[in-house]
């Protein structure tokens, strides 16, 4: 079946540090890949997505590239801010008619200190 | 502003009680989902619905049922609550079939079963 594995957290960084959160997946066919973010006390919201190999999703300074050869979709940001403190989830949607069902990774807690 | 609203943010129930979690969306979305979120496990799909009165089991349906009598409303029912159902429950919706994958989430309902 489909699965998503994220790097274990929590991750603690100082403001302006470089961020990488690793994500690898297992899926049949050609899934779409997503990063969702959950700020404290809120529901999840879409951060970025990529629907085919070599696509790069980007938003709010975050980027992730869909790498089919390594089945990866690592999240990066060049300079994190305190306001980026949140839980980050990698997810995939299987190929075909999936009605938007997503398979999520376990989540990575990011804390950024001033 | 589009919205998914969950009726209760916090609930405390006793073992064996019947529990209803309500979710309403105002985006005229066809698909609605119930996930549970547990630390270290990410989000796991309980049930989803792709049309009124239609439902399908997700990955962990045991102990749960759902109801979708109107397009905008999707209810999760715990027939006889147990302590291992203590969790955060997230409702989400999305548009149509296919694999766009953008889910819109509510803020969550934190259920404690004593």
The DSSP string of A59-99 is: ETTEEEE-BTTTTB--EEESS--GGG-EEEEEEEE-SS--T
Q: Provide the 10 A C-beta neighbour count for residue B71.
A: 15
How much is the pLDDT for A9? 81
Q: Comparing C-alpha atoms, which of A13, A35, A12 is closest to residue A22?
A: A35
Q: Which residues of B50-60 are buried (b: 16+ CB within 10 A; e: fewer)?
A: beeeebeebee
Chain A residues 35-74 with CB within 8 Å of chain B: 36, 41-46, 49, 51
Out of A7-16, B14-23, B95-104, which region has the weakest mean confidence (pLDDT)? Answer: B95-104
| Segment B28-73, tens digit of pLDDT | 999 999 999 998 889 999 999 988 988 999 999 999 999 999 999 9
A95, pLDDT greater than 70: no
* Contacts with A, B 44-73, CB within 8 Å: 44-45, 48, 50, 58
**Hey, is the C-beta of A96 within 8 angstroms of any chain B C-beta?**
yes
Q: How many CB pairs under 8 A join A and B?
A: 82
pLDDT tens-digit map of A102-113? 899 999 999 999
Distance between alpha carbon A59 and the CA centroid of its chain, in Å?
12
Selection from B22, B89, B101 nearest residue A43 by Cα: B89
Could you read off the pLDDT of A28-83 as tens digits, one per residue? 888 889 999 999 988 899 999 998 899 999 999 999 999 999 999 999 999 999 99
pLDDT given for residue B84 in this prediction = 96
Split at pLDDT 50, 70, 90, the class of A93 is confident
The answer, yes or no, to whether residue A7 has pLDDT greater than 90, is: no
Structural element, H or E, at residue A55: none
Asked if residues A112 and A11 have their Cβ atoms less than 8 Å apart, the reply is no
What tens digit of pLDDT does each residue of B90-106 get?
999 988 765 566 889 99
């Amino acid at each position: 079946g489909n699965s998503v594995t994220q790097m274990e957290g929590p991750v603690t960084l100082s403001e302006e540090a470089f961020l990488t959160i690793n994500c690898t997946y297992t899926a049949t066919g050609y899934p779409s890949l997503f990063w969702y973010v959950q700020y404290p006390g809120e529901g999840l919201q879409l951060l970025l997505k990529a629907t085919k190999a070599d696509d790069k999703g980007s938003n709010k300074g975050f980027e992730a590239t869909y790498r089919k050869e390594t089945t990866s979709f690592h999240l990066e940001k060049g300079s994190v801010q305190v306001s980026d403190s949140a839980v980050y989830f990698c997810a995939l949607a299987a190929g075909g008619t999936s009605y938007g069902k997503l398979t999520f990774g376990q989540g990575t807690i990011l804390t950024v200190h001033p | 502003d589009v919205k998914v609203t969950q009726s209760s943010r916090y609930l405390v129930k006793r073992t064996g009680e019947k529990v209803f979690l309500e979710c309403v969306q105002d985006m005229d979305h066809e698909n609605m989902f119930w996930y549970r979120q547990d630390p270290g496990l990410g989000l796991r799909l309980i049930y989803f619905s792709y049309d009124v009165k239609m439902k399908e089991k997700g990955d962990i349906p045991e102990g749960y049922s759902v109801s979708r009598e109107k397009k905008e409303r999707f209810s999760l029912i715990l027939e006889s609550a147990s302590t291992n159902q203590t969790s955060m429950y997230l409702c989400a919706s999305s548009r149509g079939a296919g694999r766009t994958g953008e889910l819109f989430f509510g803020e969550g309902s934190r259920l404690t079963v004593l």
